[in-house]
Amino acid sequence: MEGGQAPRVAIVDYSLGNLFSVKHACEKVGLQPFISSDKREILAADAVILPGVGAFGDAMECLRQRDLIRPLQDIAESGKPLIGICLGQQLLMTESFEFGRHRGLNIFEGPVIRFENPVGPNGPLKVPQVGWNRIYRPDYLKQRCVGDCWHDSPLQGLRDGEYMYFVHSYYVKPADPSVVLSITRYGHIEFCSSLRKGNVMAFQFHPERSGPQGIQIYHNLARLIIQHCHKEEIRRAA
């Protein structure tokens, strides 16, 4: 980002993403998004969003065919904001057991597993989970913070128990509980609904389909991306 221009955000196109609703949400909060499958363009962006719907194995194969696996891993290591949405969050994990066993990007250690017979107060629940569900602060955050436990995160300013929109049959199970940003319950199953490790952030739900609260997440992401751009400008000028 130079000369006061809006940060350029690459939305990765690997034929399995909900691209245009993500692009519209980015535009709404003042970012400058573009859709690309060109690794040079993606690496040159100020931030990268990895969206996704569909099957994990197909998605990894599409990323492999476009030679995007190593570039995405390099972005995660570089300190540049990398944001996963829905299947995009799952792809950041070590592996998935959806229709076999498939290696992921391994940016977060841990598997992606299927909802196994979730049961609610009125009996068995359908899989996939489709619709609105709540996100909550995990206990470890509540224990170590005073005030907004989501301060300076993509969820800053949201209430504990806010509703978000989900569509999924699988969920991530990170090995390190300290990367869990929010949890959600589907019947008797409690699962990680968002993650953060430094510059890498991801959501199982769709912020761009979650109304005003979802747009608040995009506002927060824009703020974090701008902060990163300013730090990079200062570093390059030093």
> With left for phi above 0 and alpha for psi between -120 and 50, is residue 157 left, alpha or beta?
left
Here the tokens at position 204 are: 């199982």
Of the candidates 26, 208, 228, 229, the residue annotated as catalytic is 208
What is the C-alpha separation between 218 and 232, in angstroms, rounded? 21
Of the candidates 102, 168, 206, 219, the residue annotated as catalytic is 206
208 is catalytic: yes
**Which residues have CB under 8 Å from 19's CB, separation 6+?**
11, 13, 35, 51
What is the C-alpha separation between 39 and 64, in angstroms, rounded? 12
Of the candidates 86, 149, 192, 229, the residue annotated as catalytic is 86
What is the C-alpha separation between 27 and 140, in angstroms, rounded? 34
192 is catalytic: no
- Locate tokens 């290696």: which residue? 103
* Beta-ladder partners of 69: none
Catalytic residue IDs = 86, 206, 208
